[in-house]
Structure 1
């Protein structure tokens, strides 16, 4: 786990658990050793976090009173609740759990009246998405490759059931009730492609980075999307229908 993520998780645990929290409980909740936990507590304190207590007594996180409490309108609370509920129909389990945890953290910082509104929201999404073939690969690795701009090597079966191994530069993911898609620049096709994640048999981080090229790729892709959008608004007699999905404006890899 990255250092920043580990520290954020520690802060979250200290907000949620009844104070004071023992070092052993914090270490268990965050998945680190006691030695690492003590270092993380020191790091948070050095960064300005108000943490009372010490080893053997337990720790208490004291929020800075200078910071105003979070506040949302009733409609904003309804929107957040509905968005998190709806995610269960399209997202993978790790993403759904992360959204639920984020909403819980938001609710924990709200004034009591607004926290009660969030717990008793009137908007809910109860309709599960249709059954989808579950991915065979680790979604967290794909997200990491997108975030850190790392080259992926994938074993992929296209829509014609042809199997290939190729290197791609992953740019973004698209969630829907039908499928999970990955937009990437394919080094084999030398063009943008949309891959069905559930058709990936395996994937590997190569250790290479495409960071110097990512900004240009995203810019070129955005331009291509704008051109296609304009063409769809003003169809010409020479334009032919490719039958491609509307997101993104490139063909699924076949």
Structure 2
């Protein structure tokens, strides 16, 4: 591995992993021997990186505004560009715009050579705009309720045409070119439900919080779904 790429991976590991990170873990992340890892730590420090710690104690990167921006490999740049382009085939207008704005800010911080690579990526995504009914409610409200773990009161029309008025704990959105779904814990049924967002006729915040239960609820749902799939395959 080239020295520049190796140092870049080390900086990325220090930024990404909760500190202090042991030398053994950093050596594993960067694919070098512990001896080489210590030399790379010294090189980064000599270049201005503020890295606290020592052998046997672990290392923690203290971010410094004087440090150069994070760098990316060419494949990582291509992957980011492709992911943002793919949003046009599944995401709503606000989400697509946010992805493009974020990518533009990332590209603006890259070294000149990598910025040129981002502008001339070889991987492209030509998906058309999603073929699905537009939502009747404000998606910004739905997303905020998920992020803030706030209960929603919704009017919902199910696939059988039945109308219901219920309180839900919104957990996350699932995007595809055919549908936009909302995973939630329904307080009416006291169970998990997946709602078609375009069938939600109205939505409002109740003022009730279910924090900090969202992560555990999503994990439990994923475990139950995985067990269901495995049982169906037997």
What TM-score do the two structures reach when normalised by structure 2?
0.69
CA deviation vs aligned residue, 1:33-59 (integer Å, no higher than 9, x gap): xxxxxxxxxxxxxxxxxxxxxxxxxxx
Match of 2:83 in 1: 83
Structure 1 distance, partners of 2:65, 2:190, is 54
Q: What is the CA–CA distance in structure 1 between the aligned matches of 2:215 and 2:73, rounded to whole Å?
A: 36
Question: Using the alignment, how far apart are the partners of 1:65 and 1:215 within structure 2?
Answer: 32
User: In the alignment, which residue of structure 2 is the partner of 1:27?
Assistant: none
Q: Which residue number corresponds to residue 181 of structure 2?
A: 181
Equivalent residue number for residue 28 of structure 1: none
| Residues 90, 130 of structure 2: 8 Å contact kept | no
Which residue does 1:19 correspond to in 2? none
**CA separation of 1:118/1:189 partners in 2, compared to 1, >3 Å: closer, same or farther?**
same
**Structure 1 residues 207 and 125: CA distance shift in structure 2, 3 A:** same
Match of 1:107 in 2: 107
CA drift at 1:129: 4.1
> How big is the shift at 1:215?
4.2
The equivalent of 2:39 in structure 1 is none
User: Deviations 1:84-129 (Å, cap 9, x if unpaired)?
Assistant: 0010111111111111111001000101011011011111111204
Q: Deviations over 1:172-212 (max 9, x none)?
A: 11000001000001111111000000011110011111114
Residue 43 of structure 2: aligned partner: none
Question: In the TM superposition, what whole-angstrom CA distance separates every residue of 1:12-44 from its partner, at most 9, and x where no partner exists?
Answer: xxxxxxxxxxxxxxxxxxxxxxxxxxxxxxxxx
- Figure out how many residues of one structure are paired with residues of the other and give that number: 171
Q: CA deviation at 1:225?
A: 2.0
Equivalents in 2 of 1:109, 1:167: separation in Å?
Answer: 44
Structure 1 residue 141: Cα displacement: 0.5
Uncovered stretches (5+) of structure 1, i.e. residues with no partner:
1-63, 235-254
In 1, are the aligned partners of 2:152 and 2:169 still within 8 Å (CA)?
Answer: yes
Equivalent in the alignment of 1:208: 208
Classify the secondary structure of the residue corresponding to 2:195: strand
Hey, what does 2:154 align to over in structure 1? 154
Task: Say yes or no: does 1:132 pair with 2:132.
Answer: yes
Partner Cα distance (1:175, 1:82) in 2: 16
Q: Find the aligned partners of 2:131 and 2:221 in 1 and give their Cα distance.
A: 31
Match of 2:165 in 1: 165
Correspondence list, 1:11-90, <5 A: 66-90=66-90
Alpha-carbon separation, structure 2, partners of 1:133 and 1:96: 17
Structure 2 segments unaligned to the other structure (5+ residues): 1-63
Question: For residues 226 and 132 of structure 1, what CA distance do their matches in structure 2 show?
Answer: 27
Contact 2:91 2:130 in 1 (8 A): no
- Alignment CA distance shift 1:73-1:222 (3 Å): same
2:197 maps to 1:197: yes
- Pairwise CA RMSD of aligned residues? 1.5
Could you state the TM-score of these two structures normalised by the residue count of structure 1? Answer: 0.64
Asked if 1 retains the 8 angstrom alpha-carbon contact of 2:88 and 2:130, the reply is no
